[in-house]
Amino acid sequence: MSDTATTPSTVTFDQFGLHADILKAIAEQGYTTPTPIQAKAIPVVLGGRDVMGAAQTGTGKTAGFSLPIIQRLLPLANTSASPARHPVRALILTPTRELADQVAANVQSYAKHTALRSAVVFGGVDMNPQSAELRRGVEILIATPGRLLDHVQQKTANLGQVQMLVLDEADRMLDMGFLPDLQRILNLLPSERQTLLFSATFSPEIKKLASTYLRDPQTIEVARSNSTATNVTQIVYEVAEGDKTGAVVQLIRERSLKQVIVFCNSKIGASRLARQLERDGVVATAIHGDRTQSERMQALDAFKRGEIEALVATDVAARGLDIAELPAVINFDLPFNAEDYVHRIGRTGRAGASGDALSLFSPNERKQLADIEKLIKRPLDVQRLAVDTPVRHHHDERGSRRDRDDRSRRRTTGAHERPSHGAHHRQQPVDDFFFKPYEPSPSAVSASAKREEAPAAPQKPASKQPLAALLGGFGMPRKTTSSN
């Protein structure tokens, strides 16, 4: 049986009974008062109860579960060098590498004044440094499911003493693609544990599936399920499919956006759009599953430093990216999964700041738009956008070079030389040599005659040895050796 938590709207962090070392780290991060999800979740998690937390993305769910986890593990913290004194006691699972890295950074900052150790493991990078860190012992482990199972198989991770399990972005974690790995991990955990599920979206099917992993969970909802933040302005621009690239360039220039995430539905589309934006003068790069983890992290770091204006991403970046004061996001494609729309626009307007969510809508995306409006239970403001930015059509290098040659030829021939009606270019004179029949040259004839007059080369006489003898069989005389 689940119920909904209620907490007074005005609380402070020191009212939760958190340790002074944790409060010091919170103050250093610049936080003074908890967000609604933090205010409701922290007391429940501290009480040891299972939780299903639903809140709008960007409202501080990570601190909502990491702060009470650190508090509950503090009595077990120690400075011993023995790995046996630092077993994995809290496991945080995330669906993406970027989210795992983001959660690990938050946990490390909150626990930096304590003796608790934390580590993060995810795929796409070398396992050896991760294995070395796990062998030294960690109390809090943040991981993606696949890489965690790799470490379990290599016997560098032992989950037999896990007391708390967190499924961050639980709707994606419990998706069919993650369910087999998740089930294998759950089988390795003690049955007596605290389980926390946090996400921005919970469909009825996900809630039913999640109930099999939790015992008497308490549901915490700080806003209507699947709703979007009120401080994010959502606008949908109707444009033709072929004008979308020009529309992105126009929105970036008109709004003077120095930082924006542009979402595409495919990896190929993201790479192509990033190249097109570069050609139109926008500093852009793509981030998606086909890029190596180091390339993805380098792109994210450059974007956070302000060196990149447009980060073109697939939904791999829709969850877990925490960009401070990101002014806007643009949906180049409307997502096929309506819930991904909530996560995409949640990259802006975080921690109470304002932001703009701009979406491009073509006539063949009417179903996606209807699904989004049905999910968030409100109509979206659809406006027409007149695209006046010239769009560079996608050509290969040969086509571009051919166009430049044609323009150069027109400049050199002069404006008075116009092509005739129906012709694309002037006909060049053709040498009649190519239409003459083949006639051998005198040197070729004399060389041929000399070859015919030359005597035939003598042939080697056929071997008189039988075939068996040639193959080392019968008939080969054995050599006699003189005895010493």
Domains of the chain: 13-221 (3.40.50.300), 232-384 (3.40.50.300)
Q: What are phi and psi of 237, to 5 degrees?
A: -105, 125
- % of residues, the chain, pLDDT over 90: 48
Binned at pLDDT 50, 70 and 90, residue 421 comes out as: very low
Residues 243-270: what's their mean pLDDT?
Answer: 93
At residue 416, the pLDDT reads: 39
The C-alpha atoms of residue 414 and residue 409 are separated, in whole angstroms, by: 9
Of the given ranges (222-236, 266-280, 323-337), which has the lowest mean pLDDT?
A: 222-236
Query: Can you give the pLDDT at residue 295?
Result: 87
> What's the pLDDT band for 351 if we cut at 50, 70, 90?
low
Q: What is the pLDDT of residue 291?
A: 83
| pLDDT tens profile 18-30 | 999 999 999 998 8
Instruction: Give residue 359's pLDDT.
Output: 95
How high is the pLDDT of residue 280?
A: 93
Cβ-based neighbours of 94, under 8 Å, separated by 6 or more? 100, 103, 142, 143, 144, 168, 169, 173, 320
Mean per-residue pLDDT, 137-150: 96
Q: Which residue has the higher pLDDT, 292 or 21?
A: 21
3-state secondary structure 90-102: EEEECCCHHHHHH
Amino acid 407: pLDDT:
42
Return the axis-axis angle of helices 20-28 and 61-73, rounded to nearest 10°: 150
Tens of pLDDT, residue by residue over 41-60, are 999 999 999 998 887 666 78
- The confidence score (pLDDT) of residue 397 equals 40
Mean pLDDT of the chain: 80
What confidence score (pLDDT) does residue 429 get? 46
Give me the pLDDT at residue 142, please.
Answer: 97
Q: For residue range 203-236, list pLDDT tens digits in order.
A: 776 777 677 888 889 988 876 555 666 778 999 9
